[in-house]
Chains A and B, each alone.
Chain A
Amino acid sequence: DAKTTQPPSMDCAEGRAANLPCNHSTISGNEYVYWYRQIHSQGPQYIIHGLKNNETNEMASLIITEDRKSSTLILPHATLRDTAVYYCIVRFPPNTDKLIFGTGTRLQVFP
């Protein structure tokens, strides 16, 4: 699986959009971009994933650049409960079940 690079921490004001970047410059053509988050002392929670196109669900939006070397997770209206560590992972599921977690981005949402 390709390696990802994320900023170690970010702050966001409550109610504003949180934009979390991820660099995956060595991603291969069939690898997906997955995002998970982990709230303190809990198991990780799946957020969203995508291959090429931008994706949106009830939790977030995922914007993948045309060259697929980077992506941004957008939480449109951050709340205090969105404070967590966010992990960007690239993988090709049929080839590997493994999720290899990097260091992630610690997002702090403040009032």
Chain B
Amino acid sequence: GAVVSQHPSRVICKSGTSVKIECRSLDFQATTMFWYRQFPKKSLMLMATSNEGSKATYEQGVEKDKFLINHASLTLSTLTVTSAHPEDSSFYICSAREGGGSYEQYFGPGTRLTVT
């Protein structure tokens, strides 16, 4: 149980275009989802926290207009990287938390974004 998927697993896009990454909780309802990014050989950095049906809370230094997060249902959150640039190339990972007093987070497999 507690499986989180991400789609796509890897994507290459051209500079200036936007790309959407999906995060789904497959066998549970996720009241809260988290988005991280990870540069090569670096640790995960939390970008934002999203609760179903409300606006995401972004960490300091993360541009909310560039990284659009939508958590419209209890099983799906999306991260859209708008007007992508090569410096946005990174490994993006989501995690999901069940509601009802459970505090455990389950991570997706990650999406590798390359902006050319």
Chain A contacts to B: CB under 8 angstroms: 38, 41-46, 87, 93-94, 97-104
Contact = CB atoms under 8 A, between A and B. Distances in A.
Interface residues of B, number: 23
Interface of B: 4, 6, 32, 34, 36, 43-46, 49, 91, 93, 95, 97, 103-110, 112
A101 B44 contact: yes
A18 to B, nearest CB: 20
Nearest to B46: A98
Contact of A43 (B43, B104, B110): B110
Contacts of B4: 43
A45 B107 contact: yes
B60 to A, nearest CB: 12
Contacts, number: 47
Contacts of B6: 43
6 A-B pairs with least C-beta separation: A93-B103, A43-B107, A101-B44, A101-B43, A44-B107, A43-B93
Given A43-B93, A97-B49, 10 more contacts: A43-B4, A43-B108, A44-B44, A44-B93, A46-B104, A46-B105, A99-B46, A99-B95, A101-B43, A104-B43
Contacts of B46: 98-101
Contacts of B36: 101
Contact of B34 (A42, A87, A97): A97
Contacts of A41: 91, 110, 112
